[in-house]
Amino acid sequence: MHHFNFRKNNLYCENFKVSDLAKKFQTPLYIYSAKTIEDHFLKLKKAFSEIDPLICYSVKANSNLSILKLLVSKGAGLDIVSGGELYRAKKVKCPAKRIVYASVGKSDNEIRSAIDYGILMFNVESIAELKRIDRIAAVLGKEIEVALRFNPDILASTHKYITTGKKENKFGLDEEAIKKVFLKEALYPNLKINGIHVHIGSQITESTPFIKTIKKVRALMNYLKTRGIKIRYLNIGGGLGIIYDKERPQTAGEFASKVLPLLKDLPLKVILEPGRFIVGNAGILVTQVLYIKDAVSKKFIIVDAAMNDLIRPSLYGAYHNILPLALNKSGRKSLKAADIVGPICESGDFLGRTER
């Protein structure tokens, strides 16, 4: 976390003393570093400047309006997955043509609202969804751009709950289904089917799965080209990993150096959908100790934040570093083994455990 550090044994976020913010706003409290968010976005933009992509921040990573407003002001678009996220995009005045809409479960009302706002395109996950968007577009008298989400059946080395590019996952269409849609585009007279979208998972720390995926996409596009079908947009999704503990993820520059050779000769617009990479290490959750409980088998530190404030440890068994707001006089953290738990009446309500 580039703009969180200790000064004179006190934790700061940029130039703000975290303990002062906790006193002013009370706990539990989320604190975000605008400089970190901006830095991460600009690093990605610089790394891919050779092809000038549309970088659509993935709103599901953190939908805080101030974060969205900051990124939109820096030129980012938004990747949304719900009507609520479209509402937030409108609130921060994101230009409609910088919005792409994913999700396997778009409702009629959500589709209508997105069409009315004039978004750039839908990322379509199924034939049924394609038919529904075509039908609604016809009623509204609009011609809508869509990208088909390609499931490349590639395993990304990440947690099984956040891998999305295998054939057994609920996401996207297989290669043969995509070919059939493009070859029978006349069945959807109200749609411009001119994009391919891929997203193979999240918290991916190596480039190999991305390279394999883009190569598969290129082979698919080469086939379509022989049939006279031109692709205007290629959305390569997001998924870049960050450091939580001992991970060694690739930097934006390293990632770009691996995939740009596969992209820069393509006569189309590339779209990226980073989320975690931009905000994952840009914020902290501040919580207050309520009680210290010495049980028979272990020590519990009971705090006022809970699994509803930070669900990843409970949901994935994920690791998050836990620090005091102030160090002792020697400048060291006073460490004792304990479970950090919240006040919710669930045994799964923990932020950190001595046994992982």
**Catalytic residue numbers?**
345
E-state strands within the chain: 4-7, 10-13, 16-17, 29-32, 54-58, 77-80, 99-101, 121-124, 144-149, 191-197, 233-235, 269-272, 283-286, 289-294, 299-303, 339-341, 350-352
Give the integer Cα–Cα distance in Å for 10 and 165. 43
* Angle in degrees, CA 277, 323, 306, rounded to 5: 75
Handedness of CA 308, 59, 12, 40 (dihedral sign): positive
Bridge-based pairing of strands 144-149 and 289-294 is unpaired
Structure tokens at 190: 């109200």
Query: Helices marked H in 62-194 — which ranges?
Result: 65-73, 83-91, 108-117, 127-140, 175-183
* CB contact at 8 A, 260 and 48: yes
Give the integer Cα–Cα distance in Å for 12 and 1. 11
Give the integer Cα–Cα distance in Å for 46 and 41. 9
Bridge-based pairing of strands 10-13 and 299-303 is unpaired
Q: Is 131 exposed, middle or buried (0-12, 13-18, 19+ CB in 10 A)?
A: middle
Give the integer Cα–Cα distance in Å for 24 and 17. 11
**178 phi/psi in degrees, rounded to 5:** -65, -45
Structure tokens at 13: 């976020």
CA distances from 355 to 159, 323, 339 (A): 19, 18, 8
Structure tokens at 347: 């045994």
